Amino acid sequence: MIRQRTLKTQVRAAGVGLHSGQKVNIALRPAPPDTGLVFRRTDLAEPIDFKTDPHLVCDTRMCSALEHRGARVATVEHLMSALAGLGIDNLFIDLDAAEVPIMDGSAAPFIFLLQSAGIEEQQAAKRYLRVTRKVRVEDGDKWAEIAPHNGFRLSFQIEFNHPVFKNSAKALAFDFAEDSYCQDISRARTFGFMSDVEYLRSHGLALGGTLDNAIVMDEFRVLNADGLRYADEFVKHKVLDAVGDLYLSGHPLLGAFTAYKSGHGLNNALLCALVDDSEAWEWATFKDVEARARGIPTRHWSPLAPGH
């Protein structure tokens, strides 16, 4: 069978919050089967646990933030994306501040941490959330939908009126059964515009943003001295975000996600609409032979090779 996964040992790191600018210590700890992905605010007088749930999302301005019992954990999407990319089902995530550290603005540092700790299969079947009928959400000309598919595939299109985007791909199709998340997606960084910095900071956002943890553009060009990591890094980061936002269900999806100009808010609205519609999904577990017949990877993805 395809088994649940956790870490072999605990791993720690430190960084700053992209929006708060505060130092954050994070510890990733193994968890028993069927625990799920659990954030814990260890800095509070009474530590509060947040088990991933799309209905706990309280803020989608420039990130995905969770709130439970009056406490928050913000900017969870890059870590969640890394956990989805490596197929981690059960984990305790300890934080001593209200935001996951931004690291370099991508999921790659989290991939490194998780692989450094080692990944362990557990004696329990992985539970997939299989889409059984199409669900769609819209906001003006923006939209996102998910439809039945034997695997997990994402198609994303972006539109920005800026000179840099004229030379960068605006659309991307990524299939977890055929492509390498670690190699092709995980290193894509978040991005923003100098023209927005004053507004964001006046609203308590992007206080920790620098050229070390984001791609920053002025009116004409990318300001980062090392340029882009991928020619299509912008749309790849949107896919990275979507993978993380959709993993807030706490379970891997079997479906085809398609989006146009979507962001954290629409991604979350779609996931909530899906899980709230009992006719649109079902639980699924697989023996290896059955999974291969359906085209579902039975191993997880390596940074060294496409596919798995």
DSSP class of residue 305 equals B
Written as one string, the DSSP assignment of 219-231 is SSSB--TT--SST
Instruction: Given the residues 237, 264, 300, 308, select the one marked as catalytic.
Output: 264
- The token duo for 15 is 């960084």
Distance CA 92, CA 90 (A): 7
- 264: annotated active-site residue: yes
- The token duo for 53 is 């749930």
Question: Which strand (E) or helix (H) includes residue 157?
Answer: strand 152-157
Written as one string, the DSSP assignment of 205-267 is -STT--TTSSEEE-SSSB--TT--SSTTHHHHHHHHHHHHHHGGGSS-EEEEEEEES--HHHH
Question: At what angle are helices 233-246 and 264-276 packed, to 10 degrees?
Answer: 30
* Residues labelled as active-site residues: 264
